[in-house]
Amino acid sequence: MFDSLIHFFYIILYQPLFNLLVLLYNYVPGHDFGIAIIFLTVIIRVILFPVSVKAVNSQRGLQKLQPKIQEAQKKYKDDKEKQAKEILELYKTEKINPFSGLLLAIIQLPILIALYQVFWNGLNPKELVSLYSFVVNPGPINSFFLNVIDLSKPNLIFAVLAGLTQYFQTKMLMPSAPDGKTSSTPDFSKVMQKQMVYFLPVFTVIILIGLPSALGLYWTASGIFSIVQQYFIFKKNKPEIINQ
């Protein structure tokens, strides 16, 4: 059973991602491994775009719904069952799925694991036997990015950059008061959100600091993509939020 899952993971995720990376490596200027990773990141994020947009919109909707949720929590503070039903009814009325963000994370986790395997093992010439027939074998892969950083080894700079992009990405999703300042209303969920703004970037740096910097480059590029995406989503929805 376990062997079947590993084989399924290899066929569905590892092999396609590895082949796509090598294909990009064959065509990018100078056969730059780092540029190939950036292109790979963009392709993955474009594929995940519909899910990520839904997740961001859902998170934005949850922000706008917070006053009503807090009102329900206060109104039925002694009746947890009634409180839960009222909040679920709010989600249903506003057509908000509070688990959309979790879905995106669940989808991205196996991709990250597969990419870790690609970056960790993919530079081994023996792995090139996994190439599809239409992907040209490039021979030994040069793991350097811009001929400066060896992406096969850990790199503090990319780990910190990944942490910074994670910080700004999470910070943008923090609920704000009408005057544009972060709300300071004492609420457990808001306290947790504020903690996550700092916890996630630190956790990201700790995780990436010992891994191949290729993963840090992917994480950074993916984070920048998310920040730009969130900016345009928020900009598009800003008039609607103000009018409400």
pLDDT at site 173? 75
Q: What pLDDT shows up at residue 175?
A: 59
Q: Which is nearest to 71 in space by CA: 90, 58, 92, 57?
A: 90
Residue ranges in the chain whose pLDDT is less than 70: 101, 122, 175-193, 237-244
pTM of the model: 0.82
Please tell me the predicted confidence (pLDDT) of residue 101.
Answer: 67
pLDDT at 87: 84
Distance CA 44, CA 55 (A): 16
What's the pLDDT score for residue 127?
Answer: 84
**Range list of H helices, 28-155:** 33-47, 49-75, 80-94, 100-121
Report the Cα 84 to chain-centroid distance in Å. Answer: 29
Query: Which helix H or strand E contains 236, and what residues bound it?
Result: helix 213-243
- How far apart are alpha carbons 196 and 202 in whole angstroms? 10
Q: What is the pLDDT of residue 103?
A: 74
Euclidean distance between CA atoms 146 and 32, whole angstroms:
7
